[in-house]
Amino acid sequence: MRRQMDDLTEAASSIRRSVVRLVRRMRLERTDEALSLLKLSILGMLYRKGAVTATELATRERVRPQSLTRVLASLEKRGFVSRQPDGADGRRLLITLTPEGKKALGADIRKKEAWLAKEMEKVLAPDERGLLLQASRLLDRLTEEG
């Protein structure tokens, strides 16, 4: 039992290091340096989930509402998000992704994916690419929300 836990801890450590290195490397491929990881994460969540309140965003992103206020103001200033009254409760504001925000997110994603595809083709054999795809599905299962 102890050996199995040591093996799992070692595997977890190795995966964490690899994911961190991949994220750091992909950061270099950003299309817009002003779009921090938090901002990109917010745009991505709005793309996937649709309109949400600032409180929901703060909870999902695990940031303090005060910090989120500044980030949302920056995104709104650039035209990437908009705030509109909630039709069900006029006291609440819903944050939505604008077409300009969707365009910025898409450009960032395309550049990162192009870099990764090129590196996979250059470095990995076809069967290794298949294994990596399988591993990505397993990582998705580990990180599913809810």
The pLDDT value recorded for residue 145 is 62
Kindly state the tokens that stand for 31: 């299309």
31-143 domain in CATH 1.10.10.10? yes
- Render 80-99 in DSSP notation, one character per residue: SEEEEE-SS-TTSEEEEE-H
Q: Which pLDDT score, from 0 to 100, does residue 46 have? A: 96
The terminus-to-terminus CA distance of the chain in angstroms comes to 29
Contacts of 55 (CB under 8 A, 6+ apart): 65
Residue 48, CA distances (Å) to 121, 141, 142 in order: 29, 17, 18
Instruction: Indicate the domain borders of the chain.
Output: 31-143
Indicate the pTM of the whole model: 0.81
User: Is pLDDT above 60 for 30?
Assistant: yes
Reported as a single tens digit per residue, the pLDDT across 39-73 is 999 999 999 999 999 999 999 999 998 889 999 99
Of 108, 136, 107, nearest to 120 by C-alpha is 136
Res. 27: pLDDT tops 80:
yes
Asked if residue 21 has pLDDT above 60, the reply is yes
Q: Using one digit for the tens of pLDDT, what is the confidence trace for 87-132? A: 777 778 999 999 999 999 999 999 999 999 999 999 999 999 999 9
